[in-house]
Amino acid sequence: MNPLHDEMKQRYKAMMASFEANDQDPYRLHFHVMPPTGWLNDPNGACQVDGLYHLYYQYSPYDAAGGLKYWGHYTSTDLVHFDDAGLALLPDQPYDLHGVYSGSAFEEDGVIHYFYTGNVKHLGDHDYITSGREQNTIHAVSYDGGMTIQNKEVVIDSKDYPAVFSNHIRDPKIRKINGMYYMILGARNRHDEGLVMLYKSVNLKDWDYHGPYFGPEVGMGYMWECPDFFELNNKEVLIVSPQGMEPDGLLYQNVYQSGYYLGEMDEEHVTFKPTSHFYELDHGFDFYAPQTFEDEQGRRIMWAWMGLPDADYDNPLDYDWQHAMTLPRVLTVENHQLMQRPHPNYQTLRHNEDRRQLQLSEGAYEYFTGKVAELLVTIEQVKDLSITIRSDVTLSYDDDTKQLTLTLGDAGRGRQTRAVDLTALNQLQCFVDHSSLEVFINDGEQVMTTRMYPKADEEKLELTGDVKGTVTHWSLQK
Ligand code: FRU
């Protein structure tokens, strides 16, 4: 183990031992993973081993505006309460010194194998697309169930990637298929097209380039980040986060996208054949770089960064932290579609249930309060429906257009409108957590996720409309 690495970990631990979040902070989240201080981005290394969940994450502990990336580490026994396990990986080697970038975990025979991208930028005049940058693929291991990660080793040196690729190759994810290990990586080729590369190995150490796993695809941007691949309900799923797609009607409105293809794997050639088009995973303002893992019950769980790089809206930095994770979502494939549902363990937070009937003929008006709340609306019949959350965040549905629209005023800090086309509306499940809102639509068919910064004294949650059904409100308490 690098002694510098050990010392920095200890110093960070000592610093955090006396750290207390500012209790005046109106935006600190109650039931979401967020950095204790500093900046957070992608989920990394998510796994469950011997009952314990691990969530590592892209972390700049000393700079809420972002900077040098470490891996932070949280553990949990229930996916709802998390313990801060400190710094897991530090940028302390010549091959990762400008950032321990994103990666994943793969457990076998009691050993957790981590693969991540070591980012290095060379001094001088470079465009950093074709020169001056290294993105090494690094392997490290944990022999103590994820609490310490050691034995970093470069398994693919940046200069050994095939020449058709640019210097942007990162975010490895591993899977074992028919006794062979496969690694996918997000990539940008020299024609400025995004794609997923595939490597294979017999021992997790020696990796050979196998070819593209999928892509490039017309109209799908210049770079694909954070790929993920798994089988679910007898379908192959490929998740990617493309950069450089053009908006198309209501679709692809954010600066970068995250979405999935359903398909099949050609097991002989190990390539992906999509049987669907590209679906966005979320239709809100703040969702990027998702990562999934299979839990010990065989469920597929997904976290994403509840944020975006290079977005032109902002987040206040007054309390020296920025960004958070989404709620963990349970994924299933049903009727040729990926369904995303909030992890059921979050139901344990429900308190003070308040359930009311909505009658179409009377016109509904229901009023609740809460900065940390869940609102579940089940709909039998609807003409129109509008939910106002705290000050000026509104969710509205019109059955003539069948569009659900999310609108933010000042609370959006630059976030204004996103909308999604539905075939019908039969359920809305909203999670409100001080400065975040996640809306699960029709029991997980679609999701809209956004950060919001309402006025501290504004607590109301209001539902109006011509709608028949029920609305249930809970305050959520840990
Ligand atoms: C996605 C991403 C990854 C990279 C990491 C760096 O948000 O750009 O591609 O590994 O963040 O923090």
Reported as half-sphere exposure (CB side, CA atoms, 13 A), residue 430 has a value of: 31
Taking CB atoms within 8 Å and a gap of at least 24, the contacts of 155-164 are 155/115, 155/204, 155/205, 155/206, 155/207, 156/199, 156/207, 157/95, 158/120, 158/133, 158/134, 159/134, 161/197, 161/209, 162/209, 164/189, 164/190
Q: Please determine, for the modelled complex, whether the ipTM score is greater than 0.95.
A: yes
Cα distance between residue 134 and residue 123, in whole Å: 12
Segments of the chain assigned to CATH 2.115.10.20: 3-342
Q: What is the pLDDT of residue 268?
A: 87
Atom of ligand 1 minimally distant from the CA of 305: 7
CA 213 / ligand 1 centre spacing (Å): 20
326: number of Cβ within 10 Å: 28
Structure tokens at 299: 């469920």
Cα distance between residue 13 and residue 88, in whole Å: 11
Instruction: Indicate the top mutation candidate among 71, 171, 185, 306 to test ligand 1's pocket, ranked by most ligand atoms within 8 A of CB.
Output: 171
| Catalytic site includes residue 63 | no
Residue minimizing CA distance to atom 12 of ligand 1: 101
Q: What is the pLDDT of residue 360?
A: 83
Q: What is the pLDDT of residue 426?
A: 98
Q: Provide Rg for the chain, Cα atoms.
A: 22
* Among the listed residues 89, 107, 31, the one whose alpha carbon sits nearest the alpha carbon of residue 372: 31
User: What digits encode the pLDDT tens for the residues 204-246?
Assistant: 999 999 999 999 999 999 999 999 999 999 999 999 999 999 9
Atom of ligand 1 minimally distant from the CA of 103: 10
Query: Scanning the structure block, which residue is given the tokens 């017999």?
Result: 202
Structure tokens at 463: 């539902």
Tell the burial category of 271 from Cβ atoms under 10 Å away from its Cβ (0-12, 13-18, 19+).
Answer: middle
Q: What is the pLDDT of residue 361?
A: 80
Outline where 49-127 has alpha helix (H).
none
Residue minimizing CA distance to atom 6 of ligand 1: 101
Fold of 3-342: Tachylectin-2; Chain A (2.115.10)
Cα distance between residue 280 and residue 292, in whole Å: 16
Atom of ligand 1 minimally distant from the CA of 42: 7
Atom of ligand 1 minimally distant from the CA of 101: 10
Q: What is the pLDDT of residue 1?
A: 57
State if residue 166 touches ligand 1 by the CB under 6 angstroms criterion.
no
Strand order in the sheet with 288-294: 288-294, 300-305, 329-334, 337-342
Residue minimizing CA distance to atom 9 of ligand 1: 225
Query: Scanning the structure block, which residue is given the tokens 């000592």?
Result: 14
Q: What is the pLDDT of residue 14?
A: 85
Task: State which residues of the chain have pLDDT below 70.
Answer: 1-3
Q: Please give the backbone phi and psi of residue 442, each rounded to the nearest 5 degrees, phi first.
A: 50, 50
Q: What is the pLDDT of residue 2?
A: 67
Segments of the chain assigned to CATH 2.60.120.560: 345-476
Cα distance between residue 187 and residue 212, in whole Å: 10
CA 43 / ligand 1 centre spacing (Å): 10
- Secondary structure (H, E, C), 82-104: CEEEEEEECCCCCCCCCCEEEEE
CATH numeric code, 345-476:
2.60.120.560
CA 288 / ligand 1 centre spacing (Å): 10
CA 65 / ligand 1 centre spacing (Å): 15
CA 423 / ligand 1 centre spacing (Å): 35
State if residue 101 touches ligand 1 by the CB under 6 angstroms criterion.
yes
CA 171 / ligand 1 centre spacing (Å): 7
Bridge partner residues of 274 (DSSP): 263
- Considering the candidates 23, 42, 206, 466, report the single residue annotated as catalytic: 42
State if residue 96 touches ligand 1 by the CB under 6 angstroms criterion.
no
